[in-house]
Amino acid sequence: MTVGLADAQRARSAIAGHVLRTPLVSSHSLGERIGAQAFLKLENLQRTGSFKVRGAVYAMSRLSPAQRAAGVVTMSAGNAAQAIAYAGRAHGVHVTVVMPETAPKTKIDATRGYGGEIRFAPTMTQLLPMVQALQAQGLHFLHPFDDDDVIAGHASVGLEIVEDVPDVDLVVVPVGGGGLISGVALGLKALRPGARIVGVEPEGAQGVRKALDAGHSVRLDSVHTIADGLAAPFAGERNLEIITRDVADVVVISDEAILEGLRFLVARARIVAEPAGAAAVGALLCGAVRPKAGERVVAIVSGGNVDPDRLAGFLA
């Protein structure tokens, strides 16, 4: 592994002027449901509406002059698109994003609002070939999750959790390609080695779970989930290395369980999350993740970028 605690701490200092130190709040109602002391890490309140900006800003800051001049290309269903476009604007780098045609309008509009140029692919599984074609034209490919600097930036979430709940026992993390959970593991386990980290994936996008079962990254033929922020068609190699070493388990839940988490957050915590951001809470509510009695549990609310009309439909 080429990234460690020193990298995480360096990244945190570098991004401080561009990202927020998001609140971590207790949730008595969630704690009652799961028989533990529950806390929510509110990355839905982060700049660009998700945790993604942490890694994006740090990775953008580390580009060489030649890479900056060439411009960046990346791929995303929306949250990384916004974050990397935001980071590109902050560092004067042109960003092209390949997005699926099914990306939510809110995320498309925000990406353009941050100055990103968008190219559309028919499906999530066709993003990478389009990126590779643009890379062949000279653009620098900034991977949205399988990148040491992105992981180091995301590790700031883990560092903040330990500062706010020094005796944390369990952290539950939504999982797409593995960027957030590998970063959280990097920061958390270095300072709180006894804490457990559990990831949560949708049934229709099990890139990390299938990779762990196979012992190597597996490219999914298709992804089908309401949680577009967790719809990565494969897990990153760098991410898998950290996950295999430091993550206790990655569980799989249904879209309905994810929506139960979303509804709970709105009704009981007055927190607006997108489906991906509600996955950790959904896994706790449905029993896919079972803390021990009285444990200190942090559920990461990873993002809040949801179209108002879609949110209304989820709550109906």
Q: What would the pLDDT profile of 129-143 be if each residue is shown by its tens digit?
A: 999 999 999 999 999
Q: What is the per-residue pLDDT for 78?
A: 82
Class in CATH terms, 53-141: alpha beta
With a cut of 70, say whether residue 238 has pLDDT above it.
yes
Active site annotation includes 52: yes
| pLDDT tens-digit series, residues 56-115 | 999 999 999 999 999 999 999 889 999 999 999 999 999 999 999 988 888 999 999 999
With a cut of 80, say whether residue 35 has pLDDT above it.
yes
The one catalytic residue among 50, 156, 182, 302 = 302
Section 261-275 average pLDDT:
97
Section 224-236 average pLDDT:
94
Section 263-285 average pLDDT:
98
Q: How far apart are CA 43 and CA 27, in angstroms?
A: 15
Q: How far apart are CA 156 and CA 125, in angstroms?
A: 29
By CB atoms closer than 10 A (0-12, 13-18, 19+), residue 316 is exposed
With a cut of 70, say whether residue 305 has pLDDT above it.
yes
Section 253-261 average pLDDT:
98
With a cut of 80, say whether residue 170 has pLDDT above it.
yes
Q: What is the per-residue pLDDT for 94?
A: 98
By CB atoms closer than 10 A (0-12, 13-18, 19+), residue 126 is middle
Section 188-201 average pLDDT:
97
Active site annotation includes 217: no
**Residue 272: CA count within 13 A, CB half-sphere:** 11
**Residue 78: CA count within 13 A, CB half-sphere:** 25
pTM: 0.95
Positive/negative CA dihedral, 184, 185, 190, 192: positive
Section 248-262 average pLDDT:
98
With a cut of 70, say whether residue 242 has pLDDT above it.
yes
Q: What is the per-residue pLDDT for 124?
A: 84
Section 285-311 average pLDDT:
96
Q: What is the per-residue pLDDT for 125?
A: 84
Q: What is the per-residue pLDDT for 316?
A: 87
With a cut of 70, say whether residue 1 has pLDDT above it.
no
**DSSP category for residue 50:** B
Tokens of 20: 């927020």
What residue has token string 């609002």?
Answer: 113
Report yes or no: 40 and 27 within 8 Å, Cβ to Cβ.
Answer: yes
Q: What is the per-residue pLDDT for 41?
A: 99
Class in CATH terms, 5-51+147-315: alpha beta
Q: What is the per-residue pLDDT for 204?
A: 97
Domain ranges of the chain: 5-51+147-315, 53-141
Work out the mean pLDDT of the chain and round it to a whole number.
96
| pLDDT tens-digit series, residues 151-165 | 999 999 999 999 999
User: What percentage of the chain has pLDDT greater than the value 90?
Assistant: 94
Backbone angles phi, psi at 25, to 5 degrees: -120, 150
The one catalytic residue among 41, 52, 107, 210 = 52
Matching fold, domains 5-51+147-315 and 53-141: yes
